[in-house]
Structure formats: C-alpha cells, structure tokens
Homo-oligomer: A and B are copies of this chain.
Amino acid sequence: MNLADLETPRLVLDADRMEANVARLKGRLASLGVRLRPHVKTCKSIEVARGLVESPAGPITVSTLKEAEQFLEHGVTDILYAVGIAPGKLDHVTDLRRRGADLAVVVDSVEAAKAVAERDAGIPALIEIDCDGHRAGVKPGHPVLLDIAKALARGAKPRGVMTHAGDSYNCRSPEAIADMAEQERGAVVRSAALLRSAGYACPVVSVGSTPTATFARSLEGVTEVRAGVFVFHDLVMAGLGVCRVDDIAVSVLATVIGHQREKGWIVTDGGWMALSRDRGTARQAVDQGYGLVCDEAGRVIGDLVVSDANQEHGIVSRRSGGELDLARYPVGTRLRILPNHACATAAQHDAYHVVRSGTEVVDRWPRFGGW
C-alpha cells in the first residue's frame, strides 16, 4: 500500500526516522551511564513502545492509569505513573498491582503521602521535586521532604525522587538547556541526599524531558531518564535545536480541497481536529502556525505553513506572507503536515500509518486515548 491509497486526514509515522531518533537518544544515555524509562504518553502504542524498552517488562513511564492498564495487558510490568496521585485512583492502582504491575506512584505533599500510606499495601512512591517552578513538586532539599517520606513509610514504600524540567521548553539555546539539565539533576540529587541522610533508602533518582536528556552534560547521581517526545520529535523540539526538522517522524496526511486565490490560500481537509489546537511554536523565534507543510513524500515545501485552522479545514499559506503559485497545488494534491507538538497531534488519531522509504505504507499501528 502507498500513502496515495489512504483517505485523509491520517496520521503518518516514518519508521526510519523514528528508529534513528530512538537510537540517538539511547546512545547518548548509554554514554552518560543512565537508564531510559521512556514516557509512553507520547506514543500510546505497544508497537512503538517495543522499540523503546530494555525488555518486554519495561521500564516505562505513563501519564494515565489507562496507559498502565494497556501496557500491562501487553506484559509491561515496571511502570511509573508520573502524575501526582489522586486518592480516588488508589483502588485502581491496587488492582493493577494485584494483576502483576510493579506500579509506582508520585506524591508531593504529606496529604497525598498519607492517602497512599493508609492503604497499608506497600505501594511504592516517588516524591516529586519542583526543579524549575513550572508545575508540581516540593522545592529541592526542602525539609518537608522528610515529613513526606515519614508519612509514606507508615504503609507505603518511599522509592526515591523524580522531577521534570518542563521549563526547558522555554529555553532559547542548547547552552541554556544544558544549564537547565544541570539544575534538574541538582534538584533531585540534593533531595536524594537529604532523604538518605535521614535514613531513607532512595534507590530511584529520576529526571526527564527530551530537551534536557539531549543536552545534559552530566547525569551523575541520576538513575533514570524519562523522555517521550524524542521518539517522534516535533516542530517545538526543532525550534529548540533539539532535533532537525528532517528528524520529525510523525505528520498528518491531508488533501487540498480548494483555494482562495486573492488571498494566496490553499484550503485542505487537515483542520485542528487532525492537527490539534497546539500552537507551541507561537512563542518561538519561528512561528510555524498549526504546522509546517511537506509534500506527500515528507519533503518540506519552502515556507508553507498551516496559517489558520477550522475544525476540519486547514488554511495553508506562506509564512512570509509572500505569493504562492496555487497552480502547483490543484484540488486533490496530497500534503503532509509536521506537527508543533507530537503528543497533542498524535492524540487526535486512533492509529499510525507506518511508512518506510517515503510513501510506502508497511503497517497500521493502533493507538489509544482516554483515562
């Protein structure tokens, strides 16, 4: 089968690019002497995950219990659920553990730690550290860490610390990202030292984001790296210098359905429902609109971007606003759109159409959503 045989819009996965992306990060982490615990929130696909994990049992990171559920059904047992646990989810966690998952949870307060410990089920828990003021977590090395560990130890199992340098997405250079990686590393290493000095074992010291994993100078003291988007990469990563545009492995296949000649617009059937509403490059030096336009074989076409989007209509024009030879894109022309954010765009689809050597479709891999 060929891409030309697919109805549009569809999600396309370039397996050659994906494999190169995975090999690159794995090689880098191996040279830094640290383990990869891939974040499967990006792919939500067992076929993709199989190319990422050390062994059929994992390890993996998940962002929802639905992901834990789905991957456990495929034999993955070493799972970190990396979003602060809501007490109402502990029955589900206990059930997954009973079914064979070594599922660990995350807490960042005495309140949440108590809820986990009250189960008296030895649920392993990491304490989340806030390394960059971006999201959840305890300040690095803050004394409340000891209160949380103490609360956990009453009926759960403190397993270590974790953090996510979400602010690395706002960095402006590889040097700034490397500095952020050092800040991320320092935050958890310092927190682990505090816990150990108080007598708590701290076997896991976990960091993770694709930018910091790519540019970290050292990961000394860190035991594992969680990263997800590196598998596919996207325009936000390219804008950060984390990958090249030609490394981006996912795209949305769309068809030209019309034109607005006076405006220099091509109208396609790839709207925001297919691309997502993510405008992650809006804050970057090069704003790629709702995505960068390629031909059907995946080659970028000058500065064509999806400049605006309706639910099922994409408007393609030149980023520079310059003139466009619409005759080159008649109704029926097929285009591929590189996404701002791979996690968001992939989530709009229920399958990957896997291509090799440009446009040959070699497989269809299902992906799931929901919670």
Contacts and interface: CB of A to CB of B under 8 A. Distances in A.
Interface string A347-371: 1111000000000000000000111
A112 B348 CA distance: 27
Contacts of A350: 369-370
A185 interface: no
Interface stretch (A6-14, A30-38, A231-239): A6-14
Interface string A254-275: 0111111001000101001110
Contacts of A53: none
A40 interface: no
Nearest to A263: B133
Given A277-B278, A277-B344, A312-B63, A111 B330 contact: yes
A347 B344 contact: no
A343 interface: yes
A86 B136 contact: no
Contact of A277 (B256, B277, B371): B277
A108 interface: yes
A7 B279 contact: no
A203 interface: no
B344 A166 contact: no
A300 to B, nearest CB: 22
A166 B271 CA distance: 14
Given A83-B269, A331-B87, A257 B8 contact: no
Nearest to A114: B331
A84 B257 contact: yes
A255 B312 contact: no
Contacts of A310: 135, 166
Contacts of A257: 83-86, 112, 136
A228 to B, nearest CB: 9
A226 interface: no
Contacts of A72: none
Contacts of A8: 86, 88-89, 371
5 contacts: A7-B89, A8-B371, A86-B257, A87-B331, A272-B344
